[in-house]
Chains A and B, each alone.
Chain A
Amino acid sequence: MKTFEQDKELKQLLKSVKLESPGVDFSAGVMNRVFAEQSALEKAKQQPLFGKGFWVIFSLFVALIIVVVLLSGEGSAVAKVPDFFPGADVDAALSGYRLLLHRLSNLPAGIAGILFGASLLILLENFLETRHHAVR
Chain B
Amino acid sequence: MEEKDDNYYIEKVIAGQTSYFSYVVEKYQDVVFSIALKVLKNREDAEEMAQESFVKAFKSLHTFQRKAKFSTWLYRITYNTCISETRKKKQYFASTDEVQISDEVEEMNFDGIPAENREKYIKAALAKLQEDEYTLVLLYYFEDQSVEDISKVTGLSGSNVKVKLYRARKKLYVILNEMLKEDVYSIL
Question: Contact between B30 and A11 (Cβ–Cβ < 8 Å)?
Answer: no
Contact B29 A21 (CB under 8 A): yes
The size of the chain B interface, using a CB distance under 8 A, is 42
- Among A4, A21, A30, A38, the residue within 8 A (CB) of B54 is A30
| A29 to B141 Cα, complex, angstroms | 29
The residues of B that contact A38 with a CB separation of less than 8 Å are 18
Within 8 A of A (CB), among B80-102: none
Please give, as numbers and ranges, the residues of chain A lying within 8 Å of B140 by CB-CB distance.
4
Judge if A68 is at the interface, Cβ distance under 8 Å: no
Which residue from A21, A26, A37 sits with its C-beta under 8 Å from B58? A37
* In the complex, residue of chain B having the shortest beta-carbon distance to the beta carbon of A31: B22
CA distance A10 to B140 in the complex (A): 11
* Contact indicator B29/A14 (Cβ below 8 Å): no
- The reply to whether the CB of B165 lies closer than 8 angstroms to some CB of chain A is yes
Cβ contact within 8 Å between A3 and B166: yes
Given A4-B166, A26-B50, A27-B29, A20 and B37 contact (CB-CB distance below 8 Å): yes
CA distance A16 to B118 in the complex (A): 9
Name, among A1, A9, A11, A37, the residue most crowded by chain B CB atoms within 10 Å (CB to CB).
Answer: A1
Q: Tell me the A1-41 residues at the B interface (CB within 8 Å).
A: 1-4, 7, 9-11, 13-23, 26-27, 29-31, 33-35, 37-38
Interface of chain A: mostly helix, strand, loop or mixed:
helix
The binding surface of chain B is classed by DSSP as helix
- Asked whether B18 lies within 8 Å of A10 as measured between CB atoms, the reply is no
Name the interface residues of B142-188: CB closer than 8 Å to any CB of A. Answer: 142, 162, 165-166, 169-170, 172
User: Do residues A37 and B55 form an inter-chain contact, with CB atoms below 8 A?
Assistant: yes
Indicate with 1 or 0, residue by residue over B1-39, a CB within 8 angstroms of chain A CB atoms.
000000000000000001101100110011101100100
* B40 on interface, CB distance cutoff 8 Å: no
B74 to chain A, nearest CB (A): 12
With A4-B169, A13-B122, A30-B54 in contact, is A22–B62 under 8 Å at CB?
no
Are B107 and A34 touching (Cβ within 8 A)?
no
CB of B33 within 8 A of CB of A33, answer no
Q: Is there an interface contact between A20 and B30, defined as CB atoms closer than 8 Å?
A: yes
With A and B bound together, what is the CA distance between A16 and B110 in angstroms? 13
Q: A11 to chain B: closest CB distance in Å?
A: 5
Take A26-B50, A34-B55 as given contacts and tell me if A15 and B29 are in contact as well, using a CB distance cutoff of 8 Å.
no
Chain A residues near B110 (CB, 8 Å)? Answer: 9-10, 13
Is residue B105 within 8 Å, beta carbon to beta carbon, of the partner chain?
yes
Contact with A2, one of B29, B50, B107 (Cβ below 8 angstroms): B107
| Chain A residue at minimal CB-CB distance from B123 | A17
Q: Which residues of A contact B (CB under 8 A)?
A: 1-4, 7, 9-11, 13-23, 26-27, 29-31, 33-35, 37-38, 135-136
- A-B residue pairs in contact (CB < 8 Å), sample of 11: A2-B107, A4-B162, A4-B166, A15-B141, A16-B122, A17-B126, A18-B119, A19-B142, A21-B29, A27-B29, A37-B55
